[in-house]
Amino acid sequence: GTHGTTNLSARVAGTQEPVRVSAFVSRYGSGGYDLSPTTATPTVPSFSDYIGRSTVAYELGASTELEVRARASHEAQRSTVEVTGEEQLFNNEATRTDWSLAPRITHRLRPGVQVEARLFGSGYRTQTDLTGASGGALFSRDDYDQRQHRAEAQVQAALTDAHLLTAGAGYITESV
């Protein structure tokens, strides 16, 4: 592709009762490009981004299903940059990693009434290192890490054909 851009992906899915499975993988990347060659900083730095997603569902019985969804992504980026007030060029290397995991169990108590319990966990992290282009000395490092965890339970009951009652409770934690 233009500027060394590639976008490759694959998806697969299948069912063998009582199990359903699906998976997706992707790689998207570019060699980067510079619309203003007189500056040291590229318009878009070179990067590669990898993504994977999957879902597995399992019928535990006629009334109960367990489902687990997962996602992971990792991007790496590299470029040479100028820093105002400095007399040398720097290598800028950055990564971003994020993930999530979401199990859920659903049980139908009777027609029109079901209970569900869900968990969700996710993380997001970026790290950037700026090092001297000639000697490799570390000039700066940025590191950001965020996590979220959630637990929920809910019940749904069909009161009539036109009315649904939903009640639930949950708990969320987050850290940065």
Q: For the chain, what is the mean pLDDT? A: 92
pLDDT number for residue 176? 92
Residue pLDDT, tens place only, 57-70 = 999 999 999 999 99
pTM of the model: 0.82
pLDDT number for residue 2? 66
pLDDT number for residue 4? 80
Residue pLDDT, tens place only, 4-35 = 889 999 999 999 999 999 999 999 999 888 88
What is the C-alpha to C-alpha distance for residues 162 and 58, in angstroms, rounded to an integer?
30
pLDDT number for residue 83? 72
**Residue range 34-62: mean pLDDT, rounded:** 88
Q: Is the pLDDT of residue 48 over 70?
A: yes
pLDDT number for residue 1? 57
Q: Is the pLDDT of residue 39 over 70?
A: yes
